[in-house]
Amino acid sequence: MSTFLAHDGTKLFYRDWGTGQPIVFSHAWPASADEWDPQMFFFANRGFRAIAFDRRGHGRSEQTWDGNDIDTYADDLAALLETLDLNNTILVGHSTGGGEVARYVGRHGLSRLAKTVFLASVTPGMLKSDTNPDGWPLETFDGFREGLLKNRSQTYQDAALTFYSYDQPGVEVSKGTQDKYWYQAMQGSLKAHYDCVAAFSEPDFTEDLKKITVPTLVMHSEDDEGVPYHFTGARSAKLIKNAQLKTYKGLSHGMAETHPDLINADLLAFFQS
């Protein structure tokens, strides 16, 4: 397996397909690089270099006790770009991965980047506060943590229902997709996934987003159950200078997997613009 070393020596798994302009994909909690199979295959076959890595404590990467926080995640992403010496790079972040991309810019700047994409991203923030009154209260995320400690396998199975909107009437359920989500989650570390709840829910990415000046696409379903559009994607698009906003009706938080033809076409149009 291909691996690189983070700045603290942690060994992280990545896959690197194709040649051309690099696209680096950052995945959601509690998934892995495998989440991006439909996009990796599509873009590696269309003249791009598609790269995705497993966040520390997720998938096939080393399961560290410490460092499961958004700043370290961003520094790990920076180590990947530095190790592979990537330039003119497109960063694509889904859910927690969107926070990772935003904090990367906040901590490491734009010198290696050409474009960014925030796909159903947790940015600019999930937690209810004076500046985000519609966000979810801390008790919601405490419930996630409690579920992980009680029975994390069942928690992942339950989470898959809202991740793909399989709990909604009329939505066709794919057991294969559910099983893939569960398998990715079970590969990871309980400690990392427990800590990552705070990493995706508590940071305020407002100042990070304001630093983004490269062309940016914000993609979000207005019916996203896992990361509600009205206090994430809608706000992100207003904070990022000259961001393009692409919204969808009736799609899930995991729309890149359930509707890859649609999402890949919209990504390709943005990449080629």
Could you give the residue numbers annotated as active site? 95, 224, 253
- Please give the structure tokens belonging to residue 155: 């928690």
Rg of the Cα atoms in the chain: 17
User: Across the beta sheet with 48-53, what order do the strands follow?
Assistant: 3-5, 11-17, 48-53, 21-26, 89-94, 113-119, 216-221, 244-248
- Please give the structure tokens belonging to residue 161: 């229902």
State whether the Cα torsion 238-241-242-245 is positive or negative.
negative
DSSP-derived pairing of the beta strands 244-248 and 216-221:
parallel
Burial of 261 (0-12, 13-18, 19+ CB in 10 A): exposed
